Amino acid sequence: MAQLLRGSLWIGRFLGVRVGIHPSWLPIFALVVWAIAGSFSDLDAANALLLATVTALAFFASVVIHEFAHALVARRYGVGTLAIRLFLFGGVATIASEPPTPGAEAAIAVAGPLCSLVLAALCGAGVEALRAFGGEPHAALVLISLAAANAFLALFNLLPAFPMDGGRLLRALLWHLGGDRRAATRLASVVGLSLAAVLGLAGVGLAWRTHQWESLWYVALAGFVSVAAMHSYQEARRGGVVAECPPAGGSEGAR
C-alpha cells in the first residue's frame, strides 16, 4: 500500500505523526466541491463555490481526525503510526507494527468509526442549535452535510471488508477465537475480497439501472479494497505485517 501512495506531499507533523496529501486526492476534492456547490443553488456562483470549498475542507479534516483517533488509540497499545495521508478514497493511516492482542486490534479499529459518529452527533447538535436560535440557514446546511458525511464514513468503514475498520474487527474476533493472527488475517482478507466483489457488482447494477455514472464510484472503491485485501492475504501467508488501515471514506470516507 505504501508503494501505491508514493509521491505524497507532506504538509506537516501533528502529535508526532506525519500528515500528507497524495496527488490522487486533488481530483476527488474538486469533485466533492463541485457536488456540494449544487446544494447552494440560491447563492451566486462565487459564494456557492466558496461555501462548498469550506464544507469539503471541513469534511476532509474530519477524515484526518478519524485517522488520528486510530493513531492515538494505537499509541496506547504501543503501536506507532508512521503517517496519515489523504488520497483518492479518503484517508489511510500507516502503522509501524501489528497490534499485540485481539483486544488491542479491536480497540484501534473501532476508534475511527466512533470518532466519526461523535463528529456527526456534534454537527447534528449544531444544526438543532441554529434552528432554535434562528441561525443562518446556509450554516445549517453545511452542518447537515457534515453530519451525514461523518455518519456515512463511520457506517461504511464498519463493513467487514479487511483491511477496513470493520474487517479489522472481524480479524480481531477470529484471532480471539482461533488464537492465530495469520490464519485470522487470511480468512478476514477472503471475506474482504468477497464483499469487494459484491460492492463492485452492486455499483455496476446501479449504474445500469439508473444511468448515473456516480454509481461506478463503488466499482473503483471495490477495486481498491480488493487490492488491499489481496495484499493483506499475501503478507499473512509470508508472515509479514499488515500495516495499513484503509480507507477512511470515499466519495464520502472511507476509512
Give catalytic residue positions.
Answer: 67
Contacts of 226 (CB under 8 A, 6+ apart): 192, 193, 196, 197, 200
Q: How far apart are CA 232 and CA 240, in angstroms?
A: 9
Name the packing angle between helices 165-178 and 181-210 (round to 10°). 150
Is the distance from CB of 220 to CB of 121 less than 8 angstroms?
no
For residue 38, give the DSSP letter: G
Start-end of H helices in the chain: 25-37, 45-76, 102-132, 137-157, 165-178, 181-210, 217-238
Show the cell assigned to 211.
444511468
Burial of 161 (0-12, 13-18, 19+ CB in 10 A): buried
Provide the terminal-to-terminal Cα distance of the chain, rounded to the nearest Å: 14
Residue 80's closest CA among 110, 62, 100?
100
Residue 44, φ and ψ in degrees, nearest 5 = -70, 165
